[in-house]
Amino acid sequence: MIPPIANRFVAGENIGDALDVAASRNERGLPVILNLLGEHFEDKSVAKSDRDEYIELITAINQRGLDACISIKPTQLGLDISEEVFNGNLEKILEAASEHDTFVWIDMEDHTTTDATVEAYESAVEQFGGQVGICLQANLKRTPQDLERLADKPGKLRLVKGAYKEPKDLAYRSKERVDEAYRSLIEQAFRSCDDGIAIGSHDDKMIKLADELAAETDTTYEIQMLMGVREDLQYALAEEHEVYQYIPFGGRWKSYFYRRLMERKENLLFGIRAILGR
């Protein structure tokens, strides 16, 4: 069982828990992105198990009539085993999602997976059209070229700053340089894409920039934020914007939860207060 302290950031350990949290967010005007926690599997049976759980999740979303999509990680579906395993598992999920009209996001992981992830996305949108999206990380120096390569595809692009510690020859590492790259990437996206832009950020300045560029270019976009992080802002923004909450769930919650605690001072203070019972 997930302890109460972790419930702020993780929906629960099973599909039912995740759907209940999704329903509560829908009631308050937030569509959601559901993510089964897991990554870097080296056992085909484990990757297959998560693939099947995603297919079950897609069916359950539609049975309950929720405004929800899903997000998968390539190494969760077997990319560390082989591209063939990953692509095969991804295709089965996309087939189920297409049958139920459910959108699928493909998360981006560390730089060693970028080529395979971009290629899988290109194949996915060729086969399934605009019901697929991919995450692009501003800290990687290659990302402007990837955005240019993908801008005219029918799917969606989620723009984030990037959370992985990458080699300095491949990525920007200072906060100032990553912020600069992220601003530039947002500007490039609004110049290059007609629609299908997602801003994955809790940074007020970046959201304001996207809002200004959307008005200038008459381009639609959405905002994506994490469960448990600045939720009051999410509900406020949802009054005028399309805001998705990214909701993780599953038995592998511990490492994700500790990352959330450590990445923001406010999150760490929340954890300390909860431990102290204050």
Catalytic residues: 107, 158
d(CA 185, CA 138) in angstroms, rounded, equals: 7
CA–CA dist 204, 164 (Å, integer): 22
The dihedral formed by the CA atoms of 217, 33, 127 and 57, expressed in degrees to the nearest 10: -160
Report d(CA 151, CA 81) in Å as an integer: 29
Distance CA 130, CA 103 (A): 8
> Residue 223 phi/psi, 5° resolution?
-110, 140
d(CA 199, CA 25): 19
171-197: burial string, b at 16+ Cβ within 10 Å, e else: bbeeeeebbebbbebbebbbeebeebb
CA distance 125 to 174: 34
Phi (first) and psi of residue 272, to 5 degrees: -65, -45
Q: Encoding tokens for residue 27?
A: 């009631």
Question: Containing H/E element for 133?
Answer: strand 132-137
> Distance between CA atoms of 86 and 93, rounded to whole angstroms?
11
21: three-class secondary structure by DSSP? helix
